[in-house]
Chains A and B, each alone.
Chain A
Amino acid sequence: MQIEERKRTKGGSLMRSLGAVALLMLPAMVFAQDAPPPPNKGDVSWLMTSTVLVILMTIPGLALFYGGMVRSKNVLSLLMQVMIVFCVGVLMFAIYGYSLAFTENNAFIGGFSKAFLKGMTGDSLTGTFSKATNIPELGFFCFQSTFAAITPALIVGAFAERIKFSALLVFIIIWLTFAYYPIAHMVWFWSGPDAFTTLEAGTAANVNAGFLFNKGALDFAGGTVVHINAGVAGLVGCILIGKRIGYGQSALPPHNLPMVMIGSALLWVGWFGFNVGSNLEANGFATLVFANTLLATAAATLAWMLGEWIIKGSPTMLGAASGAVAGLVAITPACGWVGPMGSIAIGVIAALVCLWAVSGLKRALGYDDSLDVFGVHCVGGIVGAVLTGVFNSPALGGTDVYDYVANAFPNPADYSITTHVISQLWGVGTTIVWSGLVSLVAFKIVDLTIGLRVTEEQEREGLDTVSHGERAYNG
């Protein structure tokens, strides 16, 4: 009996021990099921590479593109404006920009829960576009910070050669806060694909997603958030600041077209980080985004050149560089939603419309948008956004929009171009009105306090010596 008992006891204790092990393991197993999988090293590498590429497209790409287009007495002012605005943009994004753009609050703006990057470590994760696939949130922050920093840098081209440097910096801080972060939140903020387990869960998750996200406005890499947003701000700015002295009367030609060419080429290279990086994952789909970015740009460059050759009589370097940028802008919202042939169509159409915008439209309206920020970025952004709704159609080679509840693409026959274009117009219209109003108020505030424009004498002397105390070319 005793032996028996002992056996049982032993057995019992063994059972208990096993039970204890099982109990110990249980939370671990539950954890293993619920815990997000570790980030894929390929995804992380691509995210960081993309971030570097966007920095490359800004400094030096955009800076040289703009710097070459102004007169030699103003080249440093453009290089400085782009570089410094970029730094301001990145820092503001860490302080409160990321939090306002990418945390939950309401449909128009995020909250301050991640201000100063609160709680973010190398282990923090955020979602991608695939279920159960995460990337490090700090990497996502860095990537997005370059977007928030290049966008205001695009604006400076509109009022180049006459803006007061201090006024520009104050304007940028106001504009980023009240235009960029809300628009980024409206277009891009959502809870990620993992929340879409059932239709109800998906609907619940979308309650706090961005206003334009819920309108169904597609913007893969920033056609509305970056280009329309910046383009409108540029238009408002150049109208309020007024034309350059001599505009329309004497020649204000670009001082260094090879510099413009180098800048546009760096923009093109860097844009692969911008567009393909926006896929957040280094997967097969990323190669579609890559192909679209490549093809649209080549098509747009050729289309602008041919249009100019036919209308003006010569295929110019500046025209080719402008065509490349117009194509890049237009494919930005579309690059993850259309097929390669759709991207070629978008490139061609965007280039021809932008060519008209910087010549016919600009002459008719009479504003002095020095480097055509409105004509290329806003107009190209609108063309790209609207055509995304058209060429997203599976019938035209597009990808359609993935259904995360059904875990499948919808029936191609159900795709309605009209519905999608209306969604796209919501994105375009909201961005134009929102950015336009914020810009108007911000420019007015700065004009009344600091003054937007340098004096006539200073403008004639050139901003390099007046604002920065140095000259680009000595000897």
Chain B
Amino acid sequence: MITAIIRPWKLDDLQLAVARLGVQGITVTEVTGYGRQRGHSEHYRGSEYQAEFVPKLRVEIVLDDASAESVVEAITNVCRTGKTGDGKIFLAPVGEAVRIRTRESGAAAA
């Protein structure tokens, strides 16, 4: 499974890029957090805030091992701006997958 934390406005590009590689399903969650970017400053009248938690999107894609490398490559290409805050990609094995409608499991379900 690929878990990518990306800039919110990169989602459209990411979706197009992975769809071209045959990815059939993605799950997107709105999240906040911080890494090296450490937030940004906002000001409201007299008060200035360091907004610690920056809004990001978490994109989860479950796919077979063979296509993982090319999908990671595609996500990196479209989501990269070269500045801090571009995000992260994590790869982890998935124990099992079940398609609820058909009760299929394993690779057929993913």
A contact set with B: CB distance below 8 Å: 251-254, 312, 314, 316, 318-319, 322, 358-360, 362-363, 372, 375
Whether B46 and A362, one on each chain, are in contact in the complex, defined by CB atoms closer than 8 angstroms, is yes
Which of B46, B47, B50, B52 has the most A CB atoms < 10 Å from its CB?
A: B46
In the complex, per-residue mask of B38-56: 1 if CB is within 8 Å of any chain A CB, else 0: 0000111111111110000
Whether B46 and A319, one on each chain, are in contact in the complex, defined by CB atoms closer than 8 angstroms, is no
Whether B46 and A253, one on each chain, are in contact in the complex, defined by CB atoms closer than 8 angstroms, is no
Whether A359 and B46, one on each chain, are in contact in the complex, defined by CB atoms closer than 8 angstroms, is yes
Checking A251, A254, A314, A358 against B46 with a beta-carbon cut-off of 8 angstroms, the contacting residue is: A358
Whether A312 and B43, one on each chain, are in contact in the complex, defined by CB atoms closer than 8 angstroms, is yes
Q: Which residue of B lies closest to A363 (CB)?
A: B46
Whether B49 and A251, one on each chain, are in contact in the complex, defined by CB atoms closer than 8 angstroms, is yes
Q: Which residue of B lies closest to A312 (CB)?
A: B43
Whether B42 and A253, one on each chain, are in contact in the complex, defined by CB atoms closer than 8 angstroms, is yes
Whether B43 and A316, one on each chain, are in contact in the complex, defined by CB atoms closer than 8 angstroms, is yes
Whether B42 and A319, one on each chain, are in contact in the complex, defined by CB atoms closer than 8 angstroms, is no
Contacts of A322 in B (CB 8 A): 45
Could you tell me the distance between the alpha carbons of A180 and B51 in the complex, rounded to whole angstroms? Answer: 41
Contacts of B44 in A (CB 8 A): 253-254, 316, 318
Could you tell me the distance between the alpha carbons of A201 and B98 in the complex, rounded to whole angstroms? Answer: 97
Interface of A is mostly: helix
Chain A min CB distance to B68 (Å): 37
Q: Which residue of B lies closest to A354 (CB)?
A: B45
Would you list which residues of chain B between 11 and 56 have a CB under 8 Å from chain A?
42-52
New A-B contacts (4) at CB < 8 Å, excluding given A251-B42, A254-B44, A358-B46: A251-B52, A316-B44, A318-B44, A322-B45
Contacts of B48 in A (CB 8 A): 312
Contacts of B45 in A (CB 8 A): 318-319, 322, 358-359, 372
Chain B min CB distance to A105 (Å): 42
Checking A253, A312, A314 against B49 with a beta-carbon cut-off of 8 angstroms, the contacting residue is: A253
Chain A min CB distance to B82 (Å): 23
Chain B min CB distance to A424 (Å): 27
Interface of B is mostly: strand
Whether A252 and B43, one on each chain, are in contact in the complex, defined by CB atoms closer than 8 angstroms, is no
Chain B min CB distance to A350 (Å): 15
Checking B47, B50, B51, B52 against A252 with a beta-carbon cut-off of 8 angstroms, the contacting residue is: B47
Which of A254, A312, A360 has the most B CB atoms < 10 Å from its CB?
A: A312
Could you tell me the distance between the alpha carbons of A358 and B47 in the complex, rounded to whole angstroms? Answer: 9
Could you tell me the distance between the alpha carbons of A228 and B87 in the complex, rounded to whole angstroms? Answer: 50
How many B residues touch A, CB cutoff 8 Å? 11
Chain B min CB distance to A388 (Å): 26
Contacts of A358 in B (CB 8 A): 45-46
A-B contact pairs, 25 of them (CB 8 A): A251-B42, A251-B50, A251-B51, A252-B47, A253-B42, A253-B44, A253-B49, A312-B43, A312-B48, A314-B43, A316-B43, A316-B44, A318-B45, A319-B45, A322-B45, A358-B45, A358-B46, A359-B45, A359-B46, A360-B46, A362-B46, A363-B46, A372-B45, A372-B46, A375-B46
Could you tell me the distance between the alpha carbons of A362 and B49 in the complex, rounded to whole angstroms? Answer: 16
Q: Which residue of B lies closest to A311 (CB)?
A: B43
Q: Which residue of B lies closest to A317 (CB)?
A: B44
Contacts of A362 in B (CB 8 A): 46
Could you tell me the distance between the alpha carbons of A251 and B39 in the complex, rounded to whole angstroms? Answer: 12
Contacts of B51 in A (CB 8 A): 251
Could you tell me the distance between the alpha carbons of A316 and B49 in the complex, rounded to whole angstroms? Answer: 14
Could you tell me the distance between the alpha carbons of A316 and B42 in the complex, rounded to whole angstroms? Answer: 10
Q: Which residue of A lies closest to B46 (CB)?
A: A359
Chain B min CB distance to A45 (Å): 39
Contacts of A318 in B (CB 8 A): 44-45
Could you tell me the distance between the alpha carbons of A252 and B48 in the complex, rounded to whole angstroms? Answer: 10
Could you tell me the distance between the alpha carbons of A42 and B24 in the complex, rounded to whole angstroms? Answer: 70
Contacts of A312 in B (CB 8 A): 43, 48
Chain B min CB distance to A450 (Å): 30
Which 6 residue pairs are nearest across A and B when measured between Cβ atoms? A359-B46, A251-B49, A358-B46, A358-B45, A362-B46, A312-B43
Contacts of A375 in B (CB 8 A): 46
Q: Which residue of B lies closest to A322 (CB)?
A: B45
Could you tell me the distance between the alpha carbons of A322 and B44 in the complex, rounded to whole angstroms? Answer: 10
Contacts of A359 in B (CB 8 A): 45-46
Contacts of B47 in A (CB 8 A): 252
Contacts of B43 in A (CB 8 A): 312, 314, 316
Chain A min CB distance to B101 (Å): 27
Could you tell me the distance between the alpha carbons of A252 and B46 in the complex, rounded to whole angstroms? Answer: 12
Could you tell me the distance between the alpha carbons of A319 and B45 in the complex, rounded to whole angstroms? Answer: 6
Could you tell me the distance between the alpha carbons of A322 and B45 in the complex, rounded to whole angstroms? Answer: 8
Chain A min CB distance to B34 (Å): 13
Contacts of B52 in A (CB 8 A): 251
Q: Which residue of B lies closest to A319 (CB)?
A: B45
Chain B min CB distance to A437 (Å): 27
Chain B min CB distance to A221 (Å): 25
Contacts of B50 in A (CB 8 A): 251
Could you tell me the distance between the alpha carbons of A322 and B47 in the complex, rounded to whole angstroms? Answer: 14
Chain B min CB distance to A230 (Å): 18
Contacts of A316 in B (CB 8 A): 43-44
Chain B min CB distance to A471 (Å): 20
Could you tell me the distance between the alpha carbons of A314 and B50 in the complex, rounded to whole angstroms? Answer: 15
Q: Which residue of A lies closest to B47 (CB)?
A: A252
Could you tell me the distance between the alpha carbons of A210 and B64 in the complex, rounded to whole angstroms? Answer: 86
